[in-house]
């Protein structure tokens, strides 16, 4: 489940982590700092948050495979592209977090090394996102509201140690990308964009597993954002079986808040989301645990680790 709200992936309640890609608030409440729902303010007990201890290991394995391809001449351009893809994934996710904040009447600020929100971010969303590997604790902490516990920081390169500042590690995840050359799978069911406030309300209720308070996170202002596309997959009887948020920014398509209902497999939502993504562009996001495994099964590859910190 990618939340940001990356990720219930872009988290105040790790249990509800979504923005972000495997975002299944019902099951993550049941990451979605994956997406970014999981990173929001007032996060729950970190012991409930999904942890990905092997994110760096997965990346290392992927880089080793790429190095072997380069040595054989079949993948010479792949490794140089990894850093650029990671930068694009990070910026795309920060743009989605900023979009969600604007939908709630909040104004975030982009600096050279971090995005920050001077007022507390919406539920499940980070108050700061690092944009560069060289970002420091000051880059994120001086731009956010810490007057009460619960502020969160998405350390996009897993480089910061915020423990001395009173934060605790909420969870770890892996940035992922799906190469543009891969064809999108053929979706099943009736997939279409969410276009009206009523359709958005129904989508949000399905995303939240019927929790009206969590569903209120998704406001109609999102429908007017040209970079945001919200898609839903419908059963024959009209029920929403899955959905996702797509963000077109930084030359890639970001997927967050991906979810499925009941016992519908993640592949159902991935097929619908990938079919709706802009052709010819890489698709990015972040995931952890079983949601990461599901994304890798759909052709995604790991790019690098990230961490989310919570101000205790």
Tens digits of residue pLDDT in 10-44: 333 333 343 433 333 333 333 333 456 555 444 43
Q: What is the rounded CA–CA span in Å between residue 200 and residue 70?
A: 45
Q: What are phi and psi of 239, to 5 degrees?
A: -65, 145
Residue-wise pLDDT tens digits, 206-258: 999 999 999 999 999 999 999 999 999 999 999 999 999 999 999 999 999 99
Residue in 142, 187, 144, 150 with CA at minimum distance from that of residue 166: 150
The Cβ of residue 157 has, within 10 Å, a number of other Cβ atoms equal to 19
Q: What is the pLDDT of residue 52?
A: 34
Q: What is the rounded CA–CA span in Å between residue 153 and residue 134?
A: 15
Q: What is the rounded CA–CA span in Å between residue 45 and residue 42?
A: 10
Residue 124: pLDDT over 70? yes
Residue-wise pLDDT tens digits, 126-141: 999 999 999 999 999 9
Least confident residue range of 48-62, 95-109, 132-146: 48-62
Q: What is the pLDDT of residue 81?
A: 87
Q: What is the pLDDT of residue 55?
A: 39
Percentage of residues of the chain with pLDDT beyond 90: 73
- Cβ distance 11 to 262 under 8 Å? no
- Cβ distance 222 to 228 under 8 Å? yes
Six token digits for residue 283: 């698709």
Q: What is the rounded CA–CA span in Å between residue 291 and residue 2?
A: 8
Q: What is the pLDDT of residue 67?
A: 40
Region 139-149 average pLDDT: 97
pTM here is: 0.81
Percentage of residues of the chain with pLDDT beyond 70: 74
Strand pairing class (252-260; 283-287): parallel
Ramachandran class of 35: left when φ > 0, alpha when ψ lies in -120 to 50, beta otherwise: alpha
Residue 92: pLDDT over 80? yes
Q: Who wins on pLDDT, 42 or 153?
A: 153
Torsion 15-250-91-299 (CA) sign: positive
Q: What is the pLDDT of residue 5?
A: 55
Q: What is the pLDDT of residue 262?
A: 86
Q: What is the rounded CA–CA span in Å between residue 21 and residue 28?
A: 12
In this prediction, residue 78 has a pLDDT band, given cuts at 50, 70 and 90, of very low
Residue 121: pLDDT over 70? yes
């Amino acid at each position: 489940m990618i939340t940001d709200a990356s990720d219930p992936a872009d988290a105040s309640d790790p249990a509800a982590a979504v923005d972000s890609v495997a975002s299944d608030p019902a099951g993550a409440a049941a990451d979605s700092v994956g997406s970014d729902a999981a990173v929001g303010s007032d996060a729950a007990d970190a012991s409930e948050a999904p942890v990905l201890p092997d994110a760096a290991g997965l990346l290392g394995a992927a880089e080793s495979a790429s190095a072997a391809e380069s040595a054989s001449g079949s993948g010479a351009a792949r490794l140089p592209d990894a850093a650029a893809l990671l930068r694009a994934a990070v910026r795309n996710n920060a743009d989605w977090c900023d979009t969600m904040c604007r939908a709630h009447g909040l104004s975030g600020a982009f600096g050279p090394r971090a995005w920050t929100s001077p007022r507390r971010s919406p539920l499940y969303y980070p108050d700061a996102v690092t944009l560069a590997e060289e970002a420091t604790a000051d880059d994120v902490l001086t731009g956010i509201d810490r007057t009460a516990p619960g502020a969160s920081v998405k350390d996009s390169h897993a480089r910061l140690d915020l423990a001395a500042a009173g934060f605790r590690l909420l969870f770890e995840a892996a940035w992922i990308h799906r190469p543009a050359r891969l064809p999108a799978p053929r979706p099943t069911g009736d997939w279409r964009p969410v276009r009206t406030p009523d359709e958005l309300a129904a989508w949000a209720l399905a995303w939240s597993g019927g929790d009206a308070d969590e569903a209120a996170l998704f406001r109609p202002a999102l429908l007017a954002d040209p970079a945001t596309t919200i898609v839903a997959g419908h059963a024959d009887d009209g029920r929403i079986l899955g959905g996702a948020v797509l963000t077109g920014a930084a030359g890639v398509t970001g997927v967050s808040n991906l979810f499925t209902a009941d016992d519908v497999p993640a592949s159902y939502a991935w097929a619908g989301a990938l079919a709706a993504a802009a052709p010819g562009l890489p698709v990015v996001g972040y995931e952890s645990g079983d949601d990461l495994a599901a994304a890798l099964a759909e052709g995604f590859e790991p790019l690098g680790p990230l961490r989310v910190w919570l101000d205790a």
